[in-house]
Amino acid sequence: MHHVTSLDRGSEFLDVEDHPTCTAASLGRIQPELYKQSTMEAEGPSKNGTTKTCGKINFSLKYDYEGELLLVTILKALDLPAKDLCGSSDPYVKIYLLPDRKRKFQTRVHRKTLNPTFDETFQFPVPYEELGSRKLHLSVFDFDRFSRHDMIGEVILENLFEVSDLSRETSIWKDIQYATSESVDLGEIMFSLCYLPTAGRLTLTVIKCRNLKAMDITGYSDPYVKVSLICDGRRLKKKKTSIKKNTLNPAYNEAIIFDIPPENMDQVSLHISVMDYDLVGHNEIIGVCRVGIHAEGLGRDHWNEMLAYPRKPIAHWHPLTRTTSFDSQGSCPSPRLPSSP
């Protein structure tokens, strides 16, 4: 059985590089609650916590049972970072109720302020029984008249019932997590990792993707997954899945195997790219993620959990992000990796 959970990105964790006495076994299983942002229903925002944030946002939730509507009121934000040369920002907020990406709302732009008061209410039609599977996503932007708007940060509320049953209006404060792009636009991928130390074999099983970004004029994509074995910024091997036609929610259940000796496991990482196949032009990248001991956040902790539980497939959802170049991991003695059969 796969161990499956859905986690946020953006939280900071103990870095094995900075603490060489830590082992994979000592880290143990990923604790999903550590990825969730702290919630406070109070007069003002909490000042605790060490995660890198970009101010705070205050919003309220209430469910209208008669109209079957979730009412989301964006109240205000505090201590936003200055994005303009004048030392201020022109903030506004985009609101999504995931996994639905077609319906979104946006507040008015507030000029030259780091502490805007919005007081705007938005209505999402949704049956009450579906609220448990929905997530609230808030993206805070700085408006720019002459160029692309800068993203200030985001908040993802995984559990809409985190504070109350929504029968009454509930005020919530959240730290705005630093982000440079909306991962919500790209979708997510679920895969499992399993390592057999005695055989020196790493198996990544691509299970499925959901809510991928549409890349074709038909409103769909032809996605496949490419997995690259990386060391010191160099691609040593690459393998890919089959192509799934005309879908934004492909299911694969395909295993990709790399032979990696145990002594080399701390020198490599896996770069996962979800691609859109194009018969005529170039294949386009929909989004990417990375796992390995040098990766960040969930990518690192998924890898450590795999090492802590050898011979057992460990599966997680990973949010896709925009393309990044392979990061150099410092010294890496170009390990000799045997060829897969």
User: Does residue 216 share a domain with residue 170?
Assistant: no
Q: Residues 204, 160: one domain? A: no
Q: Which residue has the tokens 């603490």?
A: 19
pLDDT tens figures, 71-116? 999 999 999 988 877 788 899 999 988 877 668 899 999 999 999 9
Token digits of residue 68: 């079957």
Instruction: Name the domain count of the chain.
Output: 2
Please indicate, yes or no, whether the overall pTM of this predicted structure exceeds 0.85.
no
195, 167: one domain: no
Residue 329: per-residue pLDDT: 38
- CB-CB contact of 220 with 248 (8 Å): yes
Run of H or E including 209: strand 201-210
- CA separation for the pair 33, 35 (Å, rounded): 5
Neighbours of 62 (CB within 10 A): 16
User: Residues 105-133: what's their mean pLDDT?
Assistant: 93
Residues 6+ apart with CB under 8 A from 180: 151
What's the chain's average pLDDT?
79
Confidence grade of residue 47 (pLDDT, cut at 50, 70, 90): very low
Nearest to 74 by CA among 98, 99, 91, 54: 91
Count Cβ neighbours within 10 Å for each residue of 302-340 and write b for 16 or more, e otherwise: bbbbbbbbeeebbbbbbbbbeeeeebebeebeebebeee
How much of the chain exceeds pLDDT 90, in percent?
A: 52
Instruction: Check: CB of residue 309 under 8 Å from CB of residue 301.
Output: no
Q: Are residues 270 and 166 in the same domain?
A: no
Lowest mean pLDDT among 61-65, 84-88, 167-171, 304-308: 84-88
Give the model's pLDDT for residue 148: 66
Which range marks the domain in which residue 202 is found? Answer: 187-325
Q: What is the pLDDT of residues 190-200, one digit of tens each?
A: 999 999 999 99
Instruction: Write the CATH number for 258.
Output: 2.60.40.150
Lowest mean pLDDT among 63-77, 107-121, 136-150: 136-150
Is the confidence at residue 27, as pLDDT, over 90? no
- Please tell me whether residues 216 and 276 are part of one structural domain: yes
Same domain membership, residue 194 and residue 308: yes
Q: Are residues 230 and 309 in the same domain?
A: yes
The span from the CA of 71 to the CA of 62, in Å, is 5
User: Same structural domain for residues 72 and 170?
Assistant: yes
Domain termination residue (choose one: 178, 203, 220): 178
Q: What is the pLDDT of residue 243?
A: 97
